[in-house]
Amino acid sequence: MKKLLAFLALAGIASVALAADVVGNPKAAENKISMCIGCHGIPGYKATFPEVYSVPMIGGQSANYIVAALNAYKKGERKNPSMRGIAASLSDQDMADIAAYYSQQK
């Protein structure tokens, strides 16, 4: 049993290490950002679900920040049903690609 637990712990560490090694491709993101543009591409846009709030512009934001935010939505650590649904549909590669794309925008 101890060997199994040790193996599972190492496997978990390995998957975290692999996720950290994902390199974003901004070109690949061009087919993945359509769901982002509707809110994050409109200057001064305010969303009304689940409450009224200003939607941040993410162009020029740090790629690491974008990936961390998407993962937090995916895990439910950030509370926004729309963003959680979107983030839940993204793979680690999708997140890295989208983050690379937006980090290069102004």
Average the pLDDT over each of 17-26, 55-64, 93-102 and give the range with the smallest value.
Answer: 17-26
Residue at 12 is within a domain: no
Across the chain, mean pLDDT equals: 86
For residue 98, what are the contacts with CB-CB under 8 A and spacing of at least 6? 24, 29, 32, 33, 36, 66, 70, 90
For residue 69, what are the contacts with CB-CB under 8 A and spacing of at least 6? 78
Residue at 10 is within a domain: no
Residue at 69 is within a domain: yes
Q: What is the CATH number of the domain that holds 95?
A: 1.10.760.10
**8 A C-beta contact, residue 93 and residue 77:** no
Residue 80 or residue 10, greater confidence = 80
pLDDT 10s digits, 40-79: 999 999 988 778 889 999 999 999 999 999 999 999 999 9
Global pTM?
0.76
* Rounded-to-integer distance, Cα 101 and Cα 26, Å: 4
Residue at 9 is within a domain: no
User: What local confidence, expressed as pLDDT, does residue 17 receive?
Assistant: 43
Residue at 11 is within a domain: no
Residue at 70 is within a domain: yes
**8 A C-beta contact, residue 72 and residue 84:** no
Domain span holding position 42: 23-103
The single-letter code of the amino acid at 97 is D
Cα–Cα nearest to 36, from 8, 59, 53? 59
Q: Total structural domains in the chain? A: 1
> Looking at the predicted structure, is the pLDDT value of residue 3 above 90?
no
Residue at 16 is within a domain: no
Mean pLDDT of 84-97: 97
